[in-house]
Amino acid sequence: MTIRTNLVQTVAFSLVAMTVGASSAYAADDGSDFPKQQPIKLIVGYPAGGSTDLNGRLLGKALAERLGQTVVVENLGGAGGAIAAQKVVNEPANGYSLLVGAVNEVVIAQLVNPSVKYDGLKDFTAIGLIGSQPLLLAASKDSKIGGMDDYINMTKQGDSASYNFGSSGVGTALHLTGEMINTATKAEVQHIPYRGVSPLVTDMLSGQLDFGVFGLSSGLPHVQSGAISAIGITSDERSSIAPDIPALSENPIFKDLNVSLWFGLFGPANMPEAVVAKLKTALNDVVQDQAFQEEYKRTGGTVISNPVNMKEFLQQEQATYKQAVQQANIGR
């Protein structure tokens, strides 16, 4: 009798334990306990010091305050951000590994790089946009190009192929912008890809590179220090943070050039709705915060605080850059 009673109690205890365990597992799977389990990783596809890295660090700090969890930025450069993007696609879809992504790795990479296997529109959960900024065309001191007029005159002299420009990689928005500038000026300035801003600037300072295309936030400090010379930015008007730098569109040659670099937060596909909802709420709180907006503005960017239909937005961006890739003849 005692043995039977103990057996019944043991079985009952086991069932309770299994039920509790199942409930805990379900809570973890459905994301209801997010983000209590572990720190969140924001993966950035470029070395420290670039525009995407800056977005990651500003956002990471702000998200940590709102989610009550540590947020760590991990830099994983290479292939114009595609290596980091692929890593996030392969991560568990639990919200603890996220991509601070730009147009390069989310939209353009799959158009130009045969080794890219992910689909930026299907293989990510698009949480939302952070902000955008114009691109900056700058010249090294050794190039003897002091501004937009000098640059245009250089292209008219017929020896533009002896000059070169650097970007963050083949097929990136920075590269394509350089090719758009070539098209507008009917020039043949040669493209040289880099893995990040730091080596690009190093070669400009040493005179090995004539021009560079940057996100404004990563190029502006070097302009302000006098290390490189600004030629112009790609927006349709001057930036309030750098009013002395002309918009390229001020010259009729560049009247149709209006390009911006945007940044967003993405996770792997099929994330739990509860996790996505928490991240969207936190991101929305961040971009609506006036202090964050002011800090972001000081870097040369503009926070995107209005709601955006991410599916439609990404489809439009893909169509735009598909055309640019075809014009530059660098597609798959």
Can you read off the two tokens belonging to residue 298? 């000081």
Number of domains in the chain: 2
pLDDT higher than 60, residue 20: no
- Which CATH number goes with the domain that contains 183? 3.40.190.10
Last residue of a domain, one of 254, 269, 296: 254
Last residue of a domain, one of 211, 227, 254: 254
Can you read off the two tokens belonging to residue 296? 């972001």
Nearest CA to 191 out of 110, 80, 318, 299 is that of 80
Structure-token match 């500003």, residue found: 58
How far does the chain reach from its first CA to its final CA, in angstroms? 77
Give the C-alpha separation, 6 to 13, whole Å: 10
Can you read off the two tokens belonging to residue 125? 């959960």
Mean of pLDDT values over 74-95: 94
Can you read off the two tokens belonging to residue 308? 């955006």
225 and 267 part of one domain: no
pLDDT tens string 224-247: 999 999 999 999 899 988 999 999
Q: Is residue 276 part of a domain?
A: yes
- Which CATH number goes with the domain that contains 54? 3.40.190.150
250 and 138 part of one domain: yes
Q: Is residue 102 part of a domain?
A: yes
Last residue of a domain, one of 214, 230, 254: 254
Report whether 168 contacts 47 (CB < 8 A): no
Q: Is residue 308 part of a domain?
A: yes
pLDDT of residue 28: 52
Q: Is residue 6 part of a domain?
A: no
105 and 146 part of one domain: no
Mean of pLDDT values over 108-116: 91
Cα dihedral 141→142→148→151 (10° resolution): -170
Q: Among residues of the chain, what percentage have pLDDT more than 70?
A: 91
What's the domain range around 74?
A: 40-132+260-328
Give the C-alpha separation, 52 to 3, whole Å: 66
SS3 35: coil
Nearest CA to 63 out of 290, 281, 312, 227 is that of 281
Q: Is residue 7 part of a domain?
A: no
Structure-token match 């952070």, residue found: 130
Q: Is residue 27 part of a domain?
A: no
146 and 244 part of one domain: yes
Q: Residues in the chain, how many?
A: 332
Q: Is residue 207 part of a domain?
A: yes
Helix (H) or strand (E) holding 98: strand 97-102
71 and 170 part of one domain: no
pLDDT higher than 90, residue 198: no
